[in-house]
Amino acid sequence: MSREMVVNPGDQIELRIDSVNHQGEGVGRYRGLAVFVPFTVPGEEILAKINSVKKNFAQGEIVQVLSLSEKRIEPRCPVFETCGGSKFQHMDYGLQLELKKQLVEDSLKRIGRITGVEVRPVIGMENPWGYRNKAQFQVDMIDGKIKLGFFEEGTHVLVPTTDCHLLDEQVRGIAAVTEGLLNKFKLSVYSLETGKGLLRHVIIRKGWFTSKVMVVLVTSGEKFPEAFTIARELRAKVPVVVSVVRNINQNPARQVFGRETQLLSGQATITDHIGKYVFAISPESFFQVNSQQIEILYAKALEYAALTGEETVLDVYCGIGTISLFLAERAGRVIGYEESVQAVHDAGANARINKVTNVEFVSGRAEERLPRLAEQGFRPDVIVVDPPRQGIDKKALQAIADMQPKRMVYISCDPGTLARDLQFLSHRGYRAVEVQPVDMFPQTSHVESIVLMTNSGLKGK
């Protein structure tokens, strides 16, 4: 029987939800076909309407929940179902942590074919709300007014809101004030279709432990004579805003930042703390959005690195040097590699601020730099990697294997690409010993994981 005969778009079926997928959707099976239905909870019986049918799965939506799970709770956000940015908001937090552990385990087994590795319980938060120190708002004109918000999932349709409950309360308030000021000056909004208009994004960053805030107005290259006045008024209304910056993005694509940044008022950076270290954060810097969980994450990474004070450590995708400085306290020497030139500049500044002298930072793409290091015979004792969601390029992975470090610590924000990369390394002499998930993103289906890998001495290709 073909899949088309099992179920068709428009059909209504009864379905039991057994698990969730990596997009946070509930998963049930109907006559052997996986059916994905968002905003459901494992254990629930539902009546679902089928929206689309693919080769190996179908997509559906809830018509009626026939049997409610006791783990279902009332979501806090009124636009929860349209925004789609926090798909676990309707689940008890304890269940969220259990499901994230299952997602990591499933990825390792199904994608990486990795068994026998311990996946520890997810380290959660005491208060899993209001934790985000950064908001990246889309901008649109609705009924003649500028609105900040987020795109509806899978679209470029704005869901207008400044009241996301994942955001720090202060950030939410500043977003509302900023929206009011932008409307006061009747600014135009940039259109990708026409290439005309001014405002593209509003980004708000907060130093969690300093309570100092930066507001970034991302605009096109059009004239913006009101910029300095808006910056002054914003800082007068909200004194914790110590930095207002304009970033000029003239790229016709959807990338957020452009190449030119202009300080409108206050200071060029804000600072935050991780443990005893102080970090200067510029508009484009990568800095973990959950400041409360960073120290937990880095403490586990240090434990896995097992440094004695003599080792040479390579920190790949080092960003602004956050974990490099932690490693440097216990290592002989740390070298950080990062593609972004601005991030490398910031990392060097952070080392100087904290008076750390046994660390250096180099700019360049990992897939280009690491093979050269391997060819030159560079052999670090420990390699730490914290790649973006797409994981590590194969050329960089092969170079890491060729350098034969005794230990490797892999920090990942995507279980799927993590499993893929661990499988690659497992065929080249490395064994995953332990995985520690950390909940950096409560109320969402995302999970951060730290993996300890050791070198078995085998050098297969």
Q: How do residues 86-121 score in pLDDT, each as one tens digit?
A: 999 999 999 999 999 999 999 999 999 999 899 999
Q: Which residue in 222, 208, 146, 206 sits closest to 177, CA to CA?
A: 146
Q: pLDDT value at position 1?
A: 40
Does this model's pTM top 0.85? My answer is yes
Lowest mean pLDDT among 3-17, 194-208, 447-461: 447-461
> In angstroms, rounded to a whole number, what is the distance separating the alpha carbons of residues 149 and 160?
4
Round to whole Å and give the CA distance between 382 and 281: 27
Mean pLDDT of 46-63: 95
Residue 413 is a catalytic residue:
yes
Model pLDDT, residue 461: 41
Residue 5 pLDDT > 70, yes or no?
A: no
Task: Transcribe 180-231 into DSSP letters.
Answer: HHHHHTT--B--TTT---SEEEEEEEE-TTT--EEEEEEE-SS--TTHHHHH
Which listed residue (77, 164, 318, 413) is catalytic? Answer: 413
Give the list of residues 6+ apart from residue 324 with CB closer than 8 angstroms, or none: 315, 318, 334, 336, 347, 351, 359, 361
What mean pLDDT do residues 138-160 have? 92
Mention every residue, 6+ apart, whose C-beta is less than 8 A from residue 393.
Answer: 366, 367
Q: Which DSSP category does 355 fall into?
A: T
Distance of alpha carbon 421 from alpha carbon 341, whole angstroms:
26
Domains of the chain: 3-72 (2.40.50.140), 97-126+290-455 (3.40.50.150), 134-274 (2.40.50.1070)
Residues paired with residue 214 on neighbouring β-strands, in sequence order: 205, 243
Q: What is the pLDDT of residues 324-338, one digit of tens each?
A: 999 999 999 999 999
Dump pLDDT digits (tens) for 193-208.
999 999 999 999 999 9
359-391 tens-digit pLDDT: 999 999 999 999 999 999 999 999 999 999 999
Q: Is the pLDDT of residue 458 over 70?
A: no
Q: How far is it, in rounded angstroms, from Cα 261 to Cα 281?
A: 14
Name the β-bridge partners of 216: 203, 245
From first CA to last CA, the distance across the chain in angstroms is 41
